[in-house]
Structure 1
């Protein structure tokens, strides 16, 4: 299935409005070193919409090089494992929005 392991532009969560709604009323999961905010919404136009965003705190990682490396590793892990999430929402008229926050204080191995 071509494109299964891609992370295309339409799969990236960039809307400030949607991100603010996610932080305001989304649910959260905490598994060290990640905090995951998620929200499902009814979708009429796009069945099985899945969007994700990633962030790393600049409080713990002052250098942008370190933050960008961690974000690349997280996006790569998400890209390789998102098929399982897609299978959960396929055939359902819902949208799933995820926001992955790295809360660890040390650089991950990768």
Structure 2
């Protein structure tokens, strides 16, 4: 599998994002949180977005840095999500702390979070 983050995987639909916040379930591994909702459209595949709160990082430069780090962690570890998915999902990835973790620390937490997601969806979808 290629480690890419193509345009068709990016979460851009306002209705899907609203659905995530209204009906989505979440999995956390401090300081990361993954909110997800299954998609009805079976050919949609995985839709993924990232977010960093303005509450914790006032400067756009800092928010953009952590968004780049989150997208890179997703890109490198998305095989953990896709190999265990029985249906397509829309997901939003949040960084929720003032702490400035290094890339290897965020990478490690991302792997743990994706494994936790895979375990929870296996239970829901046997």
Same fold by TM-score, threshold 0.5 exceeded? yes
Aligned to 1:31: 29
Identify which of 66, 74, 84 aligns with 2:62.
66
Contact conserved, 1:70 with 1:108, CA < 8 A, in 2? no
Aligned to 1:8: 6
1:31 is displaced (CA, Å) by 1.2
Higher relative contact order (Cα pairs below 8 Å, separated by 6+ residues) = 1
TM-score by length of 1: 0.86
- The structure whose residues are more often helix, as a share, is 2
**Structure 1 residue runs without a partner (length 5+):** none
TM-score by length of 2: 0.76
**Where does structure 1 differ by over 2 angstroms across 4 or more consecutive aligned residues?**
41-44
1:65 is displaced (CA, Å) by 0.7
Aligned to 1:108: 101
**Partner of 1:42: helix, strand, or coil?**
coil
**Structure 2 residue runs without a partner (length 5+):** 104-126
- The structure whose residues are more often strand, as a share, is 1
Give the superposed CA RMSD.
Answer: 1.4
Identify which of 15, 18, 25 aligns with 1:17.
15
**Partner of 1:106: helix, strand, or coil?**
coil
Identify which of 82, 85, 89 aligns with 1:86.
82
Aligned to 1:57: 53
